[in-house]
Structure 1
Amino acid sequence: MMITNSRLRKFIGITGALLLLNNLTGCAVVAMGAVSATAVSVSNDRRTAGTQLDDFNAQNTASRLIGEQQNLKENANIEVTVYNKVALLTGQAPGQAEINQAEAQIKTIGYIQKIHNQIRIGQPLATSSELYDRWLATKIRTKILASEKVPTAQISIIVEDSEVFLMGLVTNQEATAAVDIARHVDGVTRVVRAFEIY
């Protein structure tokens, strides 16, 4: 059977449309999966969806403000975590003046209601120390996941130079259990509570 140019164009058009539809369907499935995962995360969090978004935006703003300070950018290593309008500052700075400067930047963000300034005086950590901190955080999270006393979705675990900082919206009993778990992980030198009691 002879295929004319018009039939060939029509065949290619239909095939292309089917391939495109197939790709779009695949994307839609992936997108729906991502939305579902996000919905589960949001629904398990004691913060409202709006507060979670505001925390995220405030954290980005805080990081940007600190990054815009040239001396902090060059001489310090400061991380900001925001949870339920509370900011936690961790990391290292050359002196108290830089620590105060970082906190002053965070105070300009009207959304943030409380600041836990846990910046230490010292040189920024080596890459090997940062990797060790990540490993410690993973160990702690794994142990908390295995515990029925602590709701993992409510807790942020920050590890800096083997010090553990715990944030979240928890009950007194949950806070005590989380601290106890973290304290008994090999390698942890100190546990700092930055919880809000639910």
Structure 2
Amino acid sequence: MSIKYIKRSIVALLTLALLNGLSGCAVVAVGAVGATAVSVSNDRRTAGTQLDDFNARRKAAGLISQDEKISANSNIEITLYNRVALLTGQAPDQTTIQQAESLVNSVDYIRKIHNQIRVGKPIPATSVLHDKWLATKIRTKILASDNVPGSQITIIVEDSEVFLMGLVTNQEATAAVDIARHVDGVAKVVRAFEIY
């Protein structure tokens, strides 16, 4: 999808909204669509791959949530980037972890799985908030770096462990890991990159 096409689409939608006298909410929604379109155009993945990743992630998450044994006792998150799945969270035992991986592996689109689920109880809300804060700190430092393309890095933090995904060069991956490692509060950094 070209930038020119995106700009034309945004202008057309805004014009339509104004001509039809739509409420402010509709204009905000159109603006959100425009922001998403710009985000899509900055990604090294094709728009088709981004959509396929989104749909495959939803399918895999649905399989996990439909399995009562897994969903009742576990907290499992799935992140998908360029057909590579990252599984994070907690499960009561190794058998449940393997079952979750097996379900995700049954989605044909997914070609590789990084299973980083830990044995244990789901982390408390305070740890979740701390993880979000850590992710924000890392994102801020990565965006400030000239050596890392921040728009190409996906940051997942789970119980103070940082997982980095994206389509990057080896130098960009090394720089991103170095930045994350030096953020106060980070326990461990795991690379789940694809080298570009």
TM-score by length of 1: 0.86
TM alignment of 1:132-143, pairs within 5 A: 132-143=130-141
Q: Which ranges of 4 or more aligned residues in structure 1 deviate by more than 2 Å?
A: 20-36
TM-score by length of 2: 0.87
- Looking at structure 1, the residues matched to 152 and 63 of structure 2 have their Cα atoms a distance apart, in angstroms, of 27
Say if 2:138 is the partner of 1:173: no
Residue matched to 2:86:
88
Unpaired runs of 5+ residues, structure 1, are 1-19
Structure 1 pair 147–24 and aligned structure 2 pair: CA distance change class (3 A): same
Say if 2:41 is the partner of 1:43: yes
> 1:118-154 deviations in whole A, cap 9, x for unaligned?
0001111001011100100000001001111111111
When the two chains are superposed, the root-mean-square deviation of aligned CA atoms in Å is: 1.6
Say if 2:144 is the partner of 1:183: no
Structure 1 pair 189–28 and aligned structure 2 pair: CA distance change class (3 A): closer
Residue matched to 1:111:
109
Shift of 1:25: 7.8
Residue matched to 1:159:
157
Structure 1 pair 37–122 and aligned structure 2 pair: CA distance change class (3 A): same
- Looking at structure 1, the residues matched to 29 and 122 of structure 2 have their Cα atoms a distance apart, in angstroms, of 39
Structure 1 pair 78–23 and aligned structure 2 pair: CA distance change class (3 A): same
Residue matched to 2:5:
none
- Looking at structure 2, the residues matched to 178 and 133 of structure 1 have their Cα atoms a distance apart, in angstroms, of 17
Structure 1 pair 24–149 and aligned structure 2 pair: CA distance change class (3 A): same
Say if 2:162 is the partner of 1:193: no
Unpaired runs of 5+ residues, structure 2, are 1-17
Shift of 1:37: 1.3
- Looking at structure 2, the residues matched to 78 and 27 of structure 1 have their Cα atoms a distance apart, in angstroms, of 34
Shift of 1:39: 2.1
- Looking at structure 1, the residues matched to 165 and 46 of structure 2 have their Cα atoms a distance apart, in angstroms, of 16
Could you say what secondary structure the match of 1:120 adopts?
strand
Structure 1 pair 175–69 and aligned structure 2 pair: CA distance change class (3 A): same
Shift of 1:24: 2.3
Residue matched to 1:59:
57
Letter paired with 1:193: R
The percentage of counterpart residues that share the same residue type is 73
Could you say what secondary structure the match of 1:46 adopts?
coil
TM alignment of 1:68-87, pairs within 5 A: 68-87=66-85
Letter paired with 1:142: T
Could you say what secondary structure the match of 1:24 adopts?
coil
